[in-house]
A and B are shown apart, each in its own frame.
Chain A
Amino acid sequence: MSVVVSVEDLEQRIGSKVVLDRVSFEVSEGECFGVFGPKGCGKSTLLHILAGIDRFKKGKVRICDLDIGKTEKYRASLGLVTQRPSLFRDLRVGENLDFIAALKDVGRENVLAVVDRFCLEDFLDKPLTALYAGEFQRLSMACAMLNDPKVLILDEPISRLDLESSRVILREIKDFLSGGGACVWAFSGGVGLFQHMDRVAWLEGGGITIYSPQEAGREWDRQVEALSLESGVGDV
């Protein structure tokens, strides 16, 4: 499996605060790389750097063998779902798909394909404000998949969604990975999600520690237990 995402000694500061401190990792084809950590630990910052939204101070990031500091061509291989809704609020569902397809310079056939895969036929004329969270997130995923990306960057894609939407999104992620895509998936809750990851990175204090899903589960249990003892609710 060849490396699709390569991060080396990445450093990012926001003001005087070091958010990412010499972070390094690689993600290979077909791999789902989870980024886990408490709120505000820098997960979104890391994902925004990978998506080319934010610039970074130091380090090297390569996506599909392209240095993202030197070229923008790698963006054609990306799909992005942000934590905060980032679709075009002034456009309806179908218009969002059409417009983002145009931005990504892909044809109508790609739009029709994702509408089918993410079960969006009934919502195409709806404004975004009329969508439930699950429907909105299916649309976000559909927009991210429009260009048949090689790398999916997902920030909390299935937090607090209805079961059907979660099922559709997880199915599509699985298909994407089995097709050789690579996924970087940030989440802050729901340890049950570990089962969908190949590796999980714990991000805290600017540093990163990489675990297997099983180790991550054990580490999570250990931390919960420690926290319970600290707060005096461990005996309950």
Chain B
Amino acid sequence: MKVVLGMFRQLRRIMGREFLYLWRDSGLRRILLLASLLGLFLFFGIYSTQVLKDIPTAVVDLDGSAASGELVRSLGAAENLKITSYPDNYDDLQEMVKRGETVVGVVIPENFGKNTALGRQTNILVAVDTSNMVYATNAGGAVLTTARTMGAKAGVKTLIAKGVHPLEAAEAFQGVNFHEQAWFNPTLNYAHFMVLGLALNIWQQCCTLTAAANVVGERKMSSWHQVKASGVSKLRFFLGKSAVHIFVFMALVLPIFALAFGPMGLPLKSDPMMLLAFTLVFALSLHGLGTMMSSIAKDAVDAARFGMIIALPSFVISGYTWPLEAMPGILQKLAWLLPQTWFFQGINYLTFKNPGWGYMSQYFYALLIIALICYGVSTAVVSRY
């Protein structure tokens, strides 16, 4: 009993010292406390408008007819387009797109009014600057919706001009009705999709870098001599430190979740306890990975490099923003070795879909296995010091 009490007393002191260490390092303290929260507010501010509105649009009206005027007015009334200029010709439009003064360019050809009145086919050029993918996707979607509506209207007019009854003409364009349903994120809300993921990415980077200092941060300090000479169990020593790290990681993520699912109104379909349990398992595996890197690193700089190499690209290759299936096969396999991939995939399921324990259990087990392997390697390496 006395031995057990002594062990707990030692653990408590080791944990106390680790808290002090993390707190007194003002740079580390600020990064840990503020980086993830600042990221959350920043990304929420950026993405909270949901979709890009008022996309700059330039219209070249080479016809100048009443029909082309009506088309221009329709474009101006389109939900996400904003006509900002009327260049005289195609070359001027091209220059404007090059200079970034407009994203969408529409060229209405000569004889547009005459051709539509005669029921002849007429081509309208719609150019979209795709150098910014996100802007291009939104602009393309907005233009497509407008073009589809206008194309249908023009088609109906053409049929009426050919003597078809207006109702029949309208029905001809509604013969096949595609009923679209967007599931899980019906408003295609960027904030719902990106904000939490990006904030958690900053959080996991901070955690990885903290964990990467776990072993080497002690071993390369002269005070390591005191630790070794004291006879304290190295396992107990690092267990105490690691427990504090995991506690701090969870304490840092709680306000992110509270703000995201509270005032910011981001979706959470799963049970909050399952989300927390999942995050805890991830924190363990992430800390295990960081500790393993720390145990094999030559020095603190080396450990920080390892941490950066893993933490920075892990979000991109996790499949959160770009589908894993679209990545090269070898990269897909590598991605599944990282806890971040399991975590970000799992977070997406938990926040949008709530697939239940039956499905999520594989994510829990994978993270636990990664944690066990990493801590196992760390223990084997540290025991040789």
Which residues in A have some Cβ–Cβ distance to B below 8 Å?
A: 48, 51-53, 72-73, 75-76, 78, 80, 82, 84-91, 95, 98-100, 102-105, 143, 147, 153
- Is there an interface contact between B231 and A104, defined as CB atoms closer than 8 Å? yes
Tell me which of B12, B24, B232 contacts A103 (CB under 8 A): B232
Number of A-B contacts (CB under 8 A): 76
> Whole-angstrom distance between the alpha carbons of A104 and B13 in the complex?
11
Number of interface residues of B (CB under 8 A): 24
Answer whether A104 and B232 are a contact pair too, CB < 8 Å, given A99-B13, A99-B17: yes
Across chains A and B, which 3 residue pairs bring their CB atoms closest together, nearest first?
A: A75-B231, A102-B13, A103-B230
> Whole-angstrom distance between the alpha carbons of A33 and B226 in the complex?
22
Which residues in B have some Cβ–Cβ distance to A below 8 Å?
A: 6, 9-10, 12-14, 17, 20-21, 24-25, 221-232, 237
- A98: chain B residues within 8 A (beta carbon): 13
- Is there an interface contact between A86 and B222, defined as CB atoms closer than 8 Å? yes
- Is there an interface contact between A90 and B229, defined as CB atoms closer than 8 Å? no
> Whole-angstrom distance between the alpha carbons of A51 and B222 in the complex?
14
> Whole-angstrom distance between the alpha carbons of A111 and B225 in the complex?
20
- Is there an interface contact between B228 and A85, defined as CB atoms closer than 8 Å? no
> Whole-angstrom distance between the alpha carbons of A102 and B14 in the complex?
8
- B14: chain A residues within 8 A (beta carbon): 99, 102-103
> Whole-angstrom distance between the alpha carbons of A206 and B117 in the complex?
106
> Whole-angstrom distance between the alpha carbons of A98 and B14 in the complex?
10
Distance (Å) between the CB of B28 and the closest chain A CB? 11
> Whole-angstrom distance between the alpha carbons of A103 and B237 in the complex?
8
Q: Can you pick out 26 interface pairs between chain A and chain B where the beta carbons lie within 8 Å of each other? A: A51-B225, A51-B228, A52-B228, A53-B228, A72-B231, A73-B231, A75-B230, A78-B229, A80-B226, A89-B223, A90-B17, A90-B25, A91-B20, A102-B12, A102-B13, A103-B14, A103-B227, A103-B230, A103-B231, A104-B230, A104-B231, A105-B9, A105-B10, A105-B232, A143-B226, A147-B230
- Is there an interface contact between B223 and A87, defined as CB atoms closer than 8 Å? yes
> Whole-angstrom distance between the alpha carbons of A89 and B227 in the complex?
13
> Whole-angstrom distance between the alpha carbons of A6 and B223 in the complex?
26
- A100: chain B residues within 8 A (beta carbon): 226, 230
> Whole-angstrom distance between the alpha carbons of A98 and B237 in the complex?
15
Distance (Å) between the CB of B23 and the closest chain A CB? 10
> Whole-angstrom distance between the alpha carbons of A95 and B227 in the complex?
15
Answer whether A90 and B21 are a contact pair too, CB < 8 Å, given A85-B222, A102-B9: yes
- B237: chain A residues within 8 A (beta carbon): 103
Answer whether A80 and B229 are a contact pair too, CB < 8 Å, given A86-B222, A88-B223: yes
> Whole-angstrom distance between the alpha carbons of A85 and B25 in the complex?
20
**Interface residue SS majority, chain B:** helix
- A99: chain B residues within 8 A (beta carbon): 13-14, 17
Q: Considering only CB atoms, which chain B residue lies closest to A127 in the complex?
A: B24
Distance (Å) between the CB of A142 and the closest chain B CB? 12
Answer whether A105 and B6 are a contact pair too, CB < 8 Å, given A91-B17, A95-B17, A99-B13: yes
Known: A53-B228, A90-B17, A103-B237. 12 other contacts (CB 8 A): A51-B229, A73-B231, A85-B222, A86-B226, A91-B17, A95-B17, A100-B230, A102-B9, A102-B10, A103-B14, A103-B231, A104-B230
- Is there an interface contact between A103 and B10, defined as CB atoms closer than 8 Å? yes
- A84: chain B residues within 8 A (beta carbon): 222
- A75: chain B residues within 8 A (beta carbon): 228-231
Q: Considering only CB atoms, which chain A residue lies closest to B17 in the complex?
A: A99
> Whole-angstrom distance between the alpha carbons of A80 and B227 in the complex?
11
Distance (Å) between the CB of A110 and the closest chain B CB? 13
- A76: chain B residues within 8 A (beta carbon): 231
> Whole-angstrom distance between the alpha carbons of A130 and B24 in the complex?
16
Q: Considering only CB atoms, which chain A residue lies closest to B11 in the complex?
A: A102
Q: Considering only CB atoms, which chain A residue lies closest to B9 in the complex?
A: A102
- A153: chain B residues within 8 A (beta carbon): 229
- Is there an interface contact between A86 and B20, defined as CB atoms closer than 8 Å? no
- B228: chain A residues within 8 A (beta carbon): 51-53, 75
Q: Considering only CB atoms, which chain A residue lies closest to B218 in the complex?
A: A88
Q: Considering only CB atoms, which chain B residue lies closest to A155 in the complex?
A: B225
- A102: chain B residues within 8 A (beta carbon): 9-10, 12-14
Distance (Å) between the CB of B219 and the closest chain A CB? 11
> Whole-angstrom distance between the alpha carbons of A115 and B82 in the complex?
77
Distance (Å) between the CB of A83 and the closest chain B CB? 10
- Is there an interface contact between B226 and A88, defined as CB atoms closer than 8 Å? yes
> Whole-angstrom distance between the alpha carbons of A147 and B225 in the complex?
16
From A48, A105, A147, residue with most partner B Cβ within 10 Å: A105
- B12: chain A residues within 8 A (beta carbon): 102
Answer whether A82 and B222 are a contact pair too, CB < 8 Å, given A95-B20, A102-B14: yes
- B232: chain A residues within 8 A (beta carbon): 103-105
